[in-house]
Amino acid sequence: MRKTGLTIDEHKRVGQELHAARSQVLDCIMMFINNYTINSRQGQAARKVERAIDRLRCVLDDAACREHPAEFNPHWYYPGTTGSDKSAPAWRGTKP
């Protein structure tokens, strides 16, 4: 039996949680930069977490697009970007 992937609501919820987690990691990175050397182990580890979150968001955004093409909105995984209406996604740059 083929698995169907996440529902739209699950994609939206996971997107919000990953966005919040990334924001917390960025706060930690700034704290580490201010209190340790720029290439400290603490900062490097936090940047590694940031890259992992970014990669997961990218993979899930791609999956959401394939699983729900008619309803898909890039803001599920990248909220707060410009071009908030569906006709002009942020990654496109201009309105049609």
In a domain, 47, yes or no: yes
In a domain, 29, yes or no: yes
Q: What is the DSSP string of 12-79?
A: HHHHHHHHHHHHHHHHHHHHHHHHS-TT-HHHHHHHHHHHHHHHHHHHHHHHHHHH-TTT--GGGTST
For the segment 33-71, what is each residue's pLDDT rounded down to a tens digit? 999 987 899 999 999 999 999 999 999 999 999 999 999
Q: CA-CA distance, 2 to 57, in Å (whole number)?
A: 23
Q: What is the pLDDT of residue 82?
A: 56
Q: What is the pLDDT of residue 94?
A: 44
Q: CA-CA distance, 44 to 51, in Å (whole number)?
A: 11
In a domain, 52, yes or no: yes
Q: What is the pLDDT of residue 37?
A: 86
Q: Are 53 and 25 in contact (CB under 8 A)?
A: yes
In a domain, 83, yes or no: no
How many domains does the chain divide into? 1
In a domain, 84, yes or no: no
Mean pLDDT across the stretch 15-37? Answer: 94
For the segment 5-18, what is each residue's pLDDT rounded down to a tens digit? 999 999 999 999 99
The pTM for the full model equals 0.78
Mean pLDDT across the stretch 76-81? Answer: 86
What is the signed CA dihedral for 16, 20, 23, 28, rounded to 10 degrees? -150
In a domain, 12, yes or no: yes
Higher pLDDT, 96 or 3: 3
Structural domain including 47 reads 8-76
Q: What is the pLDDT of residue 38?
A: 79
